[in-house]
Amino acid sequence: MTPRKMHAAVVTAFGKPLELQEWDVPTPGPGQILVKTEACGVCHTDLHAANGDWPLKPTPPFIPGHEAIGIVVAMGSGVTVVKEGDRVGVPWLYSACGHCEYCLSAWETDCPTAEFGGYTKNGGFAEYVLADPNYVALIPKGLGAKEVAPLICAGITTYKGIKETQARPGEWIAISGCGGLGHLAIQYAKAMGLLVVGVDIDQGKLDHATRLGADLVIDARSPDAVETLLKETGGGCHGVLITAPSLPAFQQGVAMTRRHGIAVLNGLPPGAFPLDIFDLVAKCVTVRGSFVGTRKDMAECLDFAARGKVHADIELQPLSAINSVFERLERGDVPSRVVLDFGPAGQ
Ligand code: NAD
Ligand code: ZN
Ligand code: ZN
């Protein structure tokens, strides 16, 4: 039986530590499902959300978390696409309208009325979370809740971002930022047959990039970082994926892009960065944003994991540790991904 109360980590004010509170377990309304959380990854986006970093802000009090994996334990009326007992992921793209030009052209992530998990809707830093069954990730059998959690944001975002660079097998891709997103990006890129440069400001992250198969690593802090990359890759990377939550990485990443190459922006530090017009025009470089991924991207990115091509490196922590996890994430002190462990859904 579902209890009436649940523990949740709550943003009560921007920039303040999260509060551990007891909330009523929500009741699924028509077309909704209730998911008992088994695990939820901690994304740097959760930190931006809790700090109120972006122009479009969530409204406190709210529960962050958009890498929640759990078991469907209750359903409102009219739900047919999942059933009780199914393991699902409750992602950033919580729901979309299904009817606008973006939804109709498989760009549902750009739907103007999309809702976002752990942002405009309460998310997975709680023992239970409500979800829209039409937008949950269906977790392939054989994948455990904890190891799959990072894939439903960090995995899908980088999988999609790499596709958006249009880099082809045998070509070079740079992954700037080898943390939560980046350590998965390296693995997806290798599985797609690309030559990979890992770029980071932390030697531990660079060493890990090498262990994950990066063909070359570059310390972004080196004054010769761009020059070295251009030399080693014979003129720059065909694709550059910038995942770093840091402004200097953006100008540097664009400078690492080969003529006619595409730099894709995933990282979301608040602010702006300068683009050299002459360089962009003369080298025909494209700079574009990329925002999580669609349900089709989700199924594809999970399939890579189900086939053993991609493994998230996780550190388990209890929900009560969330504030120290946030502090470490801010300092760049999380090796890959922290996953909050809620124990088996049966408990
Ligand atoms: P993370 O903290 O786990 O990893 C960030 C990595 O960037 C770290 O390894 C850090 O050492 C490295 N880094 C910092 N400054 C750098 C620099 N100047 N050059 C190179 N590397 C640098 O964070 P994460 O969870 O991977 O998230 C990264 C960013 O991506 C955040 O801004 C987050 O909001 C954003 N994000 C965007 C989307 C999207 O849909 N576009 C989805 C998820 C996350
Ligand atoms: Zn995320
Ligand atoms: Zn829409």
What are the pLDDT digits (tens) for 280-324?
Answer: 999 999 999 999 999 999 999 999 999 999 999 999 999 999 999
Top CATH class of 155-289 equals: alpha beta
Select from 53, 151, 178, 181 the residue to mutate for testing ligand 1; criterion: most ligand atoms less than 8 Å from CB: 181
Residue of 85, 122, 114 whose CA lies nearest to 295:
114
What pLDDT is stored for residue 343 in this prediction?
Answer: 87
Residues with Cβ < 8 Å from 49, sequence gap 6 or more?
11, 58, 62, 64, 118, 119
Ligand nearest to the CA of 110: 3
Break the chain into its structural domains and give their ranges: 5-153+293-346, 155-289
What pLDDT is stored for residue 347 in this prediction?
Answer: 40
Distance, CA of 313 to CA of 310 (rounded, Å): 10
Distance, CA of 62 to CA of 40 (rounded, Å): 16
Task: State if residue 160 touches ligand 1 by the CB under 6 angstroms criterion.
Answer: no
User: What is the whole-number distance in angstroms between the Cα of residue 105 and the centre of ligand 3?
Assistant: 10
User: What is the whole-number distance in angstroms between the Cα of residue 106 and the centre of ligand 3?
Assistant: 10
Task: State if residue 215 touches ligand 1 by the CB under 6 angstroms criterion.
Answer: no
Which ligand 1 atom minimizes the distance to the CA of 45?
34
Task: State if residue 164 touches ligand 1 by the CB under 6 angstroms criterion.
Answer: no
Amino acid, res. 253: G
User: What is the whole-number distance in angstroms between the Cα of residue 99 and the centre of ligand 3?
Assistant: 5
Task: State if residue 43 touches ligand 1 by the CB under 6 angstroms criterion.
Answer: yes
Cβ atoms of 135 and 94 within 8 Å: the answer is yes
Beta bridge partners of 246: none
Task: State if residue 76 touches ligand 1 by the CB under 6 angstroms criterion.
Answer: no
Select from 160, 187, 199, 243 the residue to mutate for testing ligand 1; criterion: most ligand atoms less than 8 Å from CB: 243
User: What is the whole-number distance in angstroms between the Cα of residue 224 and the centre of ligand 2?
Assistant: 31
Per-residue pLDDT tens digits for 198-241 = 999 999 999 999 999 999 999 999 999 999 999 999 999 999 99
Which sign, positive or negative, has the C-alpha torsion 35, 38, 42, 43?
negative
Work out whether strand 257-265 and strand 237-242 pair parallel, antiparallel, or are unpaired: parallel
Ligand nearest to the CA of 205: 1
Task: State if residue 153 touches ligand 1 by the CB under 6 angstroms criterion.
Answer: yes
Distance, CA of 149 to CA of 132 (rounded, Å): 18
Instruction: Identify residues whose C-beta is under 5 A from ligand 3, the ion.
Output: 96-97, 100, 103, 111
Ligand nearest to the CA of 337: 1
Q: Could you state, in chain order, the average pLDDT of each consecutive group of 10 residues for the chain (347 residues)?
A: 93 98 98 98 98 96 98 97 97 98 96 98 98 98 96 98 98 98 98 98 98 98 98 98 98 98 97 95 98 98 98 98 97 97 74
Task: State if residue 205 touches ligand 1 by the CB under 6 angstroms criterion.
Answer: yes
Task: State if residue 199 touches ligand 1 by the CB under 6 angstroms criterion.
Answer: yes
User: What is the whole-number distance in angstroms between the Cα of residue 343 and the centre of ligand 1?
Assistant: 28
Residues with Cβ < 8 Å from 5, sequence gap 6 or more?
22, 23, 24, 25
Instruction: Identify residues whose C-beta is under 5 A from ligand 2, the ion.
Output: 43, 45, 153
What pLDDT is stored for residue 1 in this prediction?
Answer: 76
Residues with Cβ < 8 Å from 326, sequence gap 6 or more?
17, 18, 42, 46, 47, 50
CATH dotted code for 5-153+293-346: 3.90.180.10
User: Residue of the nearest CA to atom 36 in ligand 1?
Assistant: 267
What pLDDT is stored for residue 346 in this prediction?
Answer: 46
Ligand nearest to the CA of 115: 3
What pLDDT is stored for residue 260 in this prediction?
Answer: 98
What pLDDT is stored for residue 344 in this prediction?
Answer: 79
